[in-house]
């Protein structure tokens, strides 16, 4: 992330040197509290993807739509894949333009870092979730590994759906519904973490090859993209009706899970800004954890202005886990204490242990 943060009301939120606990409603003072939601005019998916879109959801299936990127492809297969690539590019540009415009409508001028946001259009983001480090010379080997991995993928996703269906049996109860949705979120993310480093998960099988784990990871990413969008849409509707969930209303655990869901609403920065504004005045009276506010603030600041305030977002660099760029490193310790976060070095050690090391995990945050 390259753009430096400027202490200006044109950027997301400026808390000066005051602890977050003493700045209730400052977000709304700096930024108009308009409610908005990103709307992209994304282009229609290419016809070659039609067999993989079922009831509006993308399912990567046999990955034959990738044939054109491998050696030995026919001219038609190559042309089809180039059409997919062109569509994805157009989709992303449309998404970013829509989000940038709607952020501006609510008083937020985003820097170039927004160009790294996830796709706002769910199918575009799903198609972009590809297995890593594909060998373009080995289509037959790749296809064989897809077939071998498919039962593991399907079994895992069936288990996630089953747990979600059980947890959401009483979906009218806000607190349990928040917890159930967060369980699905975390199970899918645990699957991603396992595929990156199965040795970090004691008592689990890690007998897939590196390429098979890459295929598993891509398929779980597709499902997670869908789930994040569903959870974001659901939470937006609930917040519009009920307001931001308070600990006194839904319980401490469910309130934490609400934060988790909005933390993962990266494809909708407008909603994240809205949620941050709603959460801020609730920090002072203990209805929202100051640490939750800090995590979300850092998440959005990095996306919009390239620097974070509390050091909650970490990245593995040359085998070391370090915070992404900080607004003022000399103030980080006091800021973290003010919102109930532990020492930065202790947080790094804790996170490093949780992700199983920096060799396989490119970035991390405690969420």
Report how far residue 42's alpha carbon sits from residue 63's, in angstroms, rounded to the nearest whole number.
Answer: 23
Q: pLDDT tens for residues 134-182?
A: 999 999 999 999 999 999 999 999 999 888 777 665 567 899 999 999 9
Ramachandran class of 98: left when φ > 0, alpha when ψ lies in -120 to 50, beta otherwise: alpha
Averaged pLDDT for residues 257-266: 96
Average pLDDT across the chain, whole number = 85
The pLDDT score that the predictor gives to residue 64 is 97
Residue 77 has pLDDT above 70, yes or no: yes
For the segment 214-229, the average pLDDT, to the nearest whole number, is 96
Q: At 23, is the pLDDT very low, low, confident or very high (cuts 50, 70, 90)? A: very low
Between 255 and 8, the more confident residue is 255
Mean pLDDT of 334-353: 93
Stretch 347-352: mean pLDDT, rounded? Answer: 91
Residue 189 CB-density burial (10 A; 0-12 exposed, 13-18 middle, 19+ buried): middle
Lowest-confidence pick of 37-51, 55-69, 179-193, 318-332: 37-51
Q: What does the pLDDT read at residue 7?
A: 26
Helix (H, G, I), strand (E, B) or coil at 167: helix
Q: What is the mean pLDDT of residues 202-217?
A: 87
Whole-number pLDDT of residue 11: 27
Percent of the chain residues past pLDDT 90, beyond the cut: 68
Residue 10 confidence (pLDDT) above 90: no
pLDDT digit string (tens) for 271-321? Answer: 999 999 999 999 999 999 999 999 999 999 998 888 999 999 999 988 889
DSSP assignment of 193-252 equals HHHH-GGGSTTS---S-HHHHHHHHHHHHHHHHHHHHHHHHHHHHHHHHH-SPPHHHH-H
Which position has the higher pLDDT, 23 or 48?
48
Is residue 276 a contact partner of residue 30, using CB atoms and an 8 Å limit? no
pLDDT of residue 6: 28
d(CA 275, CA 296): 9
Residue 32 has pLDDT above 50, yes or no: no
Of the two residues 36 and 1, the one the predictor is more confident about is: 36
**Three-state DSSP class for residue 332:** helix
pLDDT of residue 57: 87
Tokens found for residue 141: 């080997």
- Residue 281, pLDDT score: 94
Is pLDDT of 5 > 60? Answer: no
Per-residue confidence (pLDDT) for residue 367, from 0 to 100: 62
> Does residue 199 have a pLDDT over 90?
no
> Given this model, what pLDDT does residue 39 score?
52
How confident is the model over 348-365, as a mean pLDDT? 71
- Answer yes or no: is pLDDT of 27 > 50: no
């Amino acid at each position: 992330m390259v753009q430096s943060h400027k202490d200006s009301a044109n950027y997301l939120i400026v808390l000066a040197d005051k602890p977050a606990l003493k700045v209730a409603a400052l977000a709304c003072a700096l930024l108009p509290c308009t409610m908005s939601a990103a709307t992209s005019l994304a282009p229609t998916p290419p016809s070659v993807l039609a067999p993989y879109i079922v009831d509006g959801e993308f399912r990567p299936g046999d990955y034959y739509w990738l044939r054109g990127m491998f050696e030995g492809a026919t001219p038609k297969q190559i042309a089809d894949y180039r059409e997919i690539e062109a569509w994805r590019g157009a989709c992303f540009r449309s998404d970013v333009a829509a989000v940038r415009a709607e952020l501006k409508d609510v008083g937020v001028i985003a820097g170039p870092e927004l160009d790294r946001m996830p796709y706002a259009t769910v199918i575009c983001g799903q198609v972009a979730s590809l297995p890593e480090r594909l060998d373009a010379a080995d289509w037959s080997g790749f296809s064989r590994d897809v077939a071998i991995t498919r039962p593991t993928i399907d079994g895992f996703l069936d288990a996630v759906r089953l747990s979600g269906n059980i947890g959401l049996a009483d979906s009218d109860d806000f607190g349990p519904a928040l917890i159930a949705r967060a369980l699905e979120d975390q199970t899918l993310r645990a699957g991603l973490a396992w595929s990156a480093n199965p040795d970090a998960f004691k008592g689990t099988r890690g007998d897939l090859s590196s390429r098979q784990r890459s295929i598993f990871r891509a398929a779980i990413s597709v499902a997670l993209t869908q789930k994040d969008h569903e959870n974001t849409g659901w939470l937006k509707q609930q917040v519009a009706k009920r307001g931001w969930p308070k600990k006194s209303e839904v319980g401490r655990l469910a309130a934490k899970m609400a934060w988790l869901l909005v933390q993962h609403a990266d494809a909708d920065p407008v909603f994240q800004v809205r949620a941050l504004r709603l959460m801020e005045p609730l920090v002072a009276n203990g209805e929202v954890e100051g640490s939750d506010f800090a995590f979300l603030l850092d998440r959005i600041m990095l996306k919009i202005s390239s620097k974070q305030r509390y050091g909650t977002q970490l990245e593995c660099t040359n085998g070391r886990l370090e915070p992404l760029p900080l607004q003022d490193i000399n103030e980080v310790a006091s800021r973290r204490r003010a919102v109930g976060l532990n020492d930065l070095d202790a947080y790094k050690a804790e996170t490093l242990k949780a992700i199983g090391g920096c060799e396989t995990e490119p970035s991390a945050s405690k969420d």
